[in-house]
Amino acid sequence: MLRPLIFLITIAVSTIHCGTDNKAEPYVDLTDEQKARKALDAEEYEDAAELYAQVIEDDPERYDLFPIYATALAGAGGVSLLGVVMDQLANSASASGADTGVLGMIDKIVPADATREKAEFVDQAVEVLNGIPAEVLEGAAYRVGVSLQLTIYSSVYTAMIMDLILTIDAGTVSPEALAAMTPEDAALILDAFLQAGSVGDPDSPMTQAMSQAATQIEGMEGETTADKLRNYLNGGGGSSNSQSLHQ
Amino acid sequence: MGQNLPIPPTEESLLQTGCYIQFESDRRQFGCAYRMFATMVILLSTLSVATVAYARKTNQTVVEDPFDKAAGGATLTRATRENVMIANPALMPYGGALHRWLGTQFTFLCNKESIDFLRSMVQSTQSGDEAAAEEESSSDDSAELIERVFDTPIHAGMQNITGWTLNNFGVEIFARAELDIEANEFGKYGAPEVRFGADIYAGGAASAALRLIQPLSVGVTAKYLAVAEPDIGVSLLDTEEISKLSSAEGMQEAASYGYGLGYDGGALLFLQGETIDYRLAVKIEDFGNTTFTGTQAPFLQQMHIGTGVTFHNSVDSLHLAVDYRDYQAVYEEPMFKRVYAGARLSLREYVGLATGLYQGYPTFGARLDLIFFKLGITSYTKELGEYPGANPRSIYEAYFMTGF
């Protein structure tokens, strides 16, 4: 019986020597969707986004993939839904903008090392979620999640754009950056506010803060959007307007 | 395969399909047996499967013996006697004596990550006292705890098999409950998700088997099952779903039992030699689909094929086996989740050692047989995801049994 025992031990040792990884991995061809999922789990967001885009391009009716595709895009933009959710749980009032104002909120939700390129990814995430037809979303299992994703991504995008253009630090706008703001930048900021105030969960304090800010900016005195925004940020439009941003 | 075959199949048609198994050296001696066997394979494989709704249980049996898992889960051609009825009833007549087993087996299992998690919790509790003295911030602790929860799937369960198995007949009752809780940063729809899954099976089975001719046996099992397979994923962004599941009715709806009666059938071609045996087996599981009351998805009819070779003397044996389960892929699972292979060594009938590949992952196990009391351990990995490495659980099982 020695030979079978040696044989079994040889098999066991060989198997152990190979480690605990799945031995079938080299022989399995993953689908693009599986590759995308694998990339997302590995936090390789741009790769995941590209792969999800490919899957959706091949099958445009895969609306169930839109939310996870948006997650990959937002991840490429430095936005972690888990981080936002945990931040909300830890300090929901201050993170919502309800009592700190939008500028105060920006410091909390703008991802580290934000760039224009990253902001573009987040904006794309909003665009993707907005691409789900209303009639599909109405009965979908992911309806509530998508609504909150939209709220979060559009708000973060707005915060990123504000931060990148106006160099906000501890809730204060840089006067130099405000003076140097171009009409295009001002339009970009206003559009971001308008978008963040109109998509997602209308009952969310974040959405309401964005919507209120957009309305107030549009109601300010000034010939151009940039003037209105400057007046608004300088508190020229009245204390109640500026407070919503500056508190 | 075999959908357009004449019924009964002719030898020519069987050869064309490649399903006509030929053992050239034994052709004369066992010609009758393998023709019958191949005919059964073809006939059974042409049975249709009506539904496409999937249960959590796929190609594995509702209960599995831990030592069988240690041997890679390849049980069609050889299984431990405690679970031979469920593994393949056609194995029963090859047990030697009339009485094969009367007893009960208890198994406890959990995953490696659960143990690591508990260990780290204990360590952090101990270090927490020191940390308190150093006035560490509680928010850091909370963040670390959340991060750890998201990195640590919890998997635990237990199983009992109690039965009496004879050479041609057996009865068995069994219960198995496995829970799996995991949190994913990226759930099904991209948002953070907590997923709760459970496999709960209980029931009874009765089997009958006989040798049609010397090298060929057939067996059938009738089983009555109570099944609950809740699989609940809750997005942390989905407040509606969280509220729904928070209610007693919502949870009850998600975890209700279904009851059903099912049937398995198997055949074993056993070519026995003085020192080497060859085995070829086929099993139809959940014949005609096993349907359940309530919302429980049916268990689909599957066909499994297995082969094995045993090197032995009068008291020791080494069995090598490969099972190809659900070869028609009715559950649409990838190949790596349907192939089970392994080796088991029995020494003087007191010691069992096993190793194998279970869904592509290595398995190991040892078992000690002390006549009326037996115990063992098994280590294996189960893949819960759709591709290798997607969502594995490294599971340890410890078991003991008493009986004779």
User: For chain B (length 404 residues), average pLDDT per consecutive 10?
Assistant: 40 41 41 49 41 66 94 94 92 85 94 82 66 53 66 90 94 94 88 88 95 92 94 78 67 77 96 93 96 92 96 90 94 91 91 93 93 93 87 93 92
Residue A246: pLDDT band with limits 50, 70, 90: very low
**Identity at B178, one-letter amino acid code:** E
ipTM value for the complex: 0.77
Question: Touching check for A2 and chain B: CB below 8 Å?
Answer: no
Q: Could you tell me what percent of chain B has a pLDDT over 70?
A: 77
Q: Which residue of A has its CA nearest to B191?
A: A81
| A216-244: average pLDDT | 69
Q: Please give the residue of chain A at the shortest CA–CA distance from B344.
A: A8
CB half-sphere exposure, B182, CA atoms < 13 A: 20
Measure the CA–CA gap between B209 and B168, rounded to whole angstroms: 5
For residue B323, what are the β-bridge partners?
B306, B340
- Selected for mutation to probe chain B from A22, A122, A142 (highest B CB count within 10 Å) is A22
pTM over 0.90: no
Looking at residue A90, what is its pLDDT? Answer: 65
pLDDT for the residue numbered B253: 63
Q: Is the per-residue pLDDT at A242 higher than 90?
A: no
Q: Which of A1, A23, A69 sits opposite B360 (nearest CB)?
A: A23
Residues 170-229 in A contacting B (C-alpha not used; CB under 8 Å): none
What pLDDT shows up at residue B11? 44
Q: How far does Cα B205 stand from its chain's mean position?
A: 16
A67–B238 CB contact, under 8 Å: no
pLDDT beyond 90 at A80: no
pLDDT at residue B246, as a whole number = 64
pLDDT at A75 over 80: yes
Question: Which of B311, B364, B381 lies nearest to residue A12, judging by beta carbons?
Answer: B364
Q: Which two tokens stand for residue B14?
A: 């069987």
Poorest-pLDDT segment among A29-43, A55-69, B37-51: B37-51
Residue type for position B319:
H
Q: Is A13 on the interface with B (CB under 8 A)?
A: no
Q: What secondary structure does DSSP assign to A51-87, as a single string?
A: HHHHHHHH-TT-GGGHHHHHHHHHHHTT--HHHHHHH
- The pLDDT of residue A2 is 58
| Contact flag B189-A27 (C-beta cutoff 8 Å) | no
CA dist B55 → B49, B174, B234, B317 (Å):
14, 19, 19, 37
Please tell me the predicted confidence (pLDDT) of residue B377: 96
pLDDT at residue A3, as a whole number: 63
Phi-psi region of A144 (alpha: psi -120 to 50; beta: other; left: phi over 0): alpha
Q: Is the pLDDT of residue A19 over 90?
A: no
Give the residue, A2 or A72, on which the prediction is more confident.
Answer: A72
Enclosing H/E stretch for B321: strand B317-324
Contacts with B, A 110-169, CB within 8 Å: 141-142, 144-146, 148-149
- A240 confidence band (pLDDT: 50, 70, 90): very low
Which chain B residues have a beta carbon less than 8 Å from that of A8? 318, 343, 345, 353, 355
CA A138 to chain centre: 22
Please list every residue in chain A whose beta carbon sits closer than 8 Å to the beta carbon of residue B357. Answer: 15, 23
Q: What's the whole-number mean pLDDT along residues A44-48?
A: 96
B381, B361 Cβ separation under 8 angstroms = yes
What is the chain A residue with the closest CA to B334? A28
Provide the token pair at A113: 């090392």
Out of A12, A67, A90, whose CB is closest to B190? Answer: A67
pLDDT at A198 over 70: yes
Number of cross-chain residue pairs from A and B with Cβ atoms under 8 Å apart: 129
8 Å CB contact of B189 and A67: yes
Candidates A22, A69, A70; nearest CB to B360: A22
